[in-house]
Structure formats: C-alpha cells, structure tokens
Structure 1
Amino acid sequence: MAKEMSRNTVSIGDIFAVSLPDGNYGAIRVADEIDNSYLVITTPYIGTDIPSIENELLGEILLQNRFFYNNDKALVWVEGKVPKEVVYIGNIPLSGKIICSSFRGKWDNSVGIEVFLEWRWEYDRENFEKEIQEEEKRINEEYKKSQKPKKMMKDETFWSIISLLNFNDKNDEEEILEPAVHTLAKMSVKDIKEFEEALSYKLYLLDTKEHAKNIGEYSYDEETQDYFSADLFLYFRCSVIAEGKECFELTIKNPRNMTKDNSFEPLLSLASEAYTRRTGKEFEYITGCDYESFSNVEGWN
C-alpha cells in the first residue's frame, strides 16, 4: 500500500511515484546517496495510476531522445529532503553501482518529469516543439530587457583601483592583482558589489561585433566565426580595462583601438578575491549586465 515517506527513512532502491503535469504519474528510484544528496533515476513508467512495486518498468532507466538527447539515461544528483508530494511505493535493491556526474540542485517536484517530456516528444512533438520555441523567445526577450546595470562604483574610485594592478614582467597573476585586491577588500561589501557592477558594465559595453573584429590574430570573422573564441574575446576585453581609463575610453569610441593579442582573465576574479578576504565567504552576486561574449545583443546586430 502506498504511503508518504519522510526524508529520514530514504534508502537506496526506494521507489517513489511523482505527479506529472498532465495528471498522470511517473516513478523515480533512488540509486545512490552521499551525505544529503541522492542519485535519482527516472523510470520509463507513466500511467493514470500509481504503479505497484511489481511493475517491471520500475527496475528500468528511462532513455531520453528529445531534442539534443541521444539515448541518454535519465539520471541526476539532487540535494535535500524528498518533496512531501511524492508517494512511497516500495524498494527494489540495485544490483550494481551507477555512475553519474550530473547535478540539478534541490530535490523538488520537477524531478521525474523527464518521462512526461519524452512522452510529449513521441506523441505530441509538433506542439511540444512550438511551446519550447515560444518559451525560449520569451526568455530571450526578458533577457534583453534585463541588461541594465545596478548601482555602480563611481568611475573615479573604480579606475583608481584598476590603476593599482601591478604589472611587471616578473610578477605572476596573483602579484599583479594583490594591490588592487588589498585596497578593495578594505572597503565595504556594498563597495565590492558596486565595483563588480562597474566592471561588468564596462565589459558589456566592449562586447560588440566591431570590437571582436579587432583583437588581432583571433578576430571575429563572419565567414569563419566557428574559429572565434567567446572566452578569449572576454579576456581581451579584460585587458582593455586593465590598461586603464584612457585605453578603455579610446576603445569604446573606436573599436580599432581594441587590444591586440593580449588578454587578462584574472581581472574577473578581483572582486571575488576581495569579497572573500573581507568576509571569509564565497562571492555570490549577479550583476545587472552579463559580461559573457554575445550578451550585448544590440552590439552584435
């Protein structure tokens, strides 16, 4: 008989029924446990009723083929307590170890939905694809709207910190950053976030097609764009800022002044290093503008 199961009694091999968006049920199985994390299998079962423990599908793993999947097993590590809504069915011991490196995050009610998505792919593909395309379009529109900086550090203060970068032929990356990190770490957490915001916005402004066409050997070419490195372009943009205010302003006005064949990736860690030194914690802050290459949609049109 089905019953609700608490997180404290979860064991490897436990089977749970999950509610799917269309009112049907799916079933998941716990395959492994490490501390507060569980490896969960989505089984191929889908039906109007909660399956009995004797159902053969509960011992199998769903194979995924929707969109970019290619017979990929529906396995994922999740963390935390089992949602109250799942229903315990029983336990089927595993015969061997299952390896998986995929991690989703919190164990919520979406775990196990893969069987429903695969059903849509097989029996309702046209509508399914249309819905996904519309959702991607909506997300892209929202993303474009969200590209506005939050409160930034004043330019004078920002560039004074950048000027502390100790470039020297003998210095390694840590030594180059140290004076700037030391100064920023003495400021408030608010100041550190505002520095990161200013840095992200400046990198965002440099994220244009014309700037990408002027980075030297690895420049963007519309005919051979497959060879263009988005990461390298970001690091080249970092180099422009690391060279100081005058270089940045000249490059913003004229993309031909873009740094050639020179990068400085460590700049991206300056605020996080300062924050950790200031608080002893990891820096978790989302800026208003994304500095990753191609984020400046208008700059790439």
Structure 2
Amino acid sequence: MQAEFGPVDKMPDPQFWGMIGLINGTGWHDNATDLEPLKAALKSLDDLEICAFEEALSQKLFALDTRHHYRSFSWFPGLSDTFLYKRLAVVAQEEDYFTKVLNIPHKFPWRSTKWLEGLLYVAREAFEEKYGRDLDYSASICCESFSNAKGWQK
C-alpha cells in the first residue's frame, strides 16, 4: 500500500551503499551487528528519502530472490523467513559482496541460525522515531521470499 507517499524512486546506489556502510559489526547476525548508526542517518533524512531507502533495499532483496540463490542457501524447501534474513545479511556486507553474490549465485551463504532480521525494519523504526507515527509506505516490489516469479522460473 502506497497510500501516504505514492510511488517513490529508489535511493541512488551510491547513497544507498553509503548508508549501508554505516552498519557496525559483522552484518551477519543481529546479535553481532549495530544498526543504530544507520538508523541515526536515516532519521536525518526527510520522509521521502527514508521511503527511497526502503525502496532500494526491497529491490536489492528482490534481486537475490532466485531459485539459484536459494539452492546455494538450502536444499530444504520453504525456508522463506530465514532466506529473507540471510539476503538481508548479504546486503549488509556492502556493494562488492552483494554484487558478487548477485552475479555468482553459488556464492550465496549456506543456511545457518545466524541472520540479520533487524535491517528489514530499520527504515520504519527511523521513521517512527522521527515522526511519531507508522510509515505508511510499501515498496513497489515485494521483498518476501519467493516473490520474484522470474527468478524462480525453471
């Protein structure tokens, strides 16, 4: 639903990756990652820029949502949440690693109990803390696992 903001262009890649670079810690696991510097930077942006970050993040996650990436992650079907959280961890590793994994799906990390769920919510949390209300914006594409129909074709 894009009720409040309507369609929003994604944040330009240099700005997006600069924001991702603010993440402290490993970026592989919520307990070993500090998203507060990223959240603080997001709070310094205006509302449309926060939405633009959310849009860019969703597009990156969508791009990694493919059959080939999943097969490197697990042979067990249906691990939608853990696959999403591991894709978030790949994004948190910054542009060079993301691009390598995007272009060479067998480089996608194998499933584990370590993932980065918090990155999924950081833009919404920043918006709520800044404006005192929920962010009424949904990206133009769905970042949920198995949403990229073209990426899941045989």
Who is 1:283 aligned against? 135
1:284: Cα distance to partner? 2.0
Name the structure 1 match of 2:69: 211
How far off is 1:270 after superposition? 1.0
**Amino acid corresponding to residue 91 of structure 2 in structure 1:** I
CA distance in 2, matches of 1:258, 1:196: 22
> Which one has the largest radius of gyration?
1
Q: Among the aligned pairs, what percent are the same residue?
A: 35
Question: Is structure 2 residue 21 aligned with structure 1 residue 163?
Answer: yes
Cα distance change, pair 172–298 in 1 and its aligned pair in 2 (3 A): closer
Question: CA separation of 1:243/1:155 partners in 2, compared to 1, >3 Å: closer, same or farther?
Answer: same
Give the Å deviation of 1:273: 1.1
Q: TM-score, normalised by structure 1?
A: 0.45
SS in 2 for 1:214: helix
Match of residue 4 from structure 2: none
Q: Which secondary structure state, in structure 1, belongs to the residue aligned with residue 61 of structure 2?
A: helix
Q: Which runs of 5+ in 1 are unaligned?
A: 1-148
| Cα distance between partner residues in 1 of 2:109 and 2:25 | 16
1:183-262 matches, cutoff 5 A: 183-215=41-73, 219=74, 221=75, 225=77, 228-260=78-110, 261=112, 262=114
Q: 1:187 to 1:150 in 2, by over 3 A?
A: closer
Q: 5+ residue gaps in structure 2?
A: 1-6
CA RMSD in angstroms comes to: 2.2
Q: Scaled by the length of structure 2, what TM-score is found?
A: 0.86
User: Runs ≥4 in structure 1, deviation > 3 angstroms?
Assistant: 171-175
- Describe the shift of the 1:284–1:299 C-alpha distance in structure 2 as closer, same or farther (beyond 3 A): same
**Structure ranking higher in strand proportion:** 1
How has the CA–CA distance of structure 1 residues 200 and 168 changed in structure 2, closer, same or farther, with 3 Å as cutoff? Answer: closer
The one-letter code sitting in structure 1 at the alignment partner of 2:44 is: K
- Counting matched residue pairs gives 144
Residue 179 (1) aligns with residue 37 (2): yes
Residue identity in the other structure for 2:152: W
1:276 and 1:174, CA in 2 relative to 1: closer, same or farther beyond 3 A?
Answer: farther
- Provide Cα deviations, 1:25-82, integer angstroms capped at 9, x if missing partner: xxxxxxxxxxxxxxxxxxxxxxxxxxxxxxxxxxxxxxxxxxxxxxxxxxxxxxxxxx
Separation in 2 of the partners of 1:181 and 1:207? 25
- Report which structure shows greater RCO (CA 8 Å, sep ≥6): 2
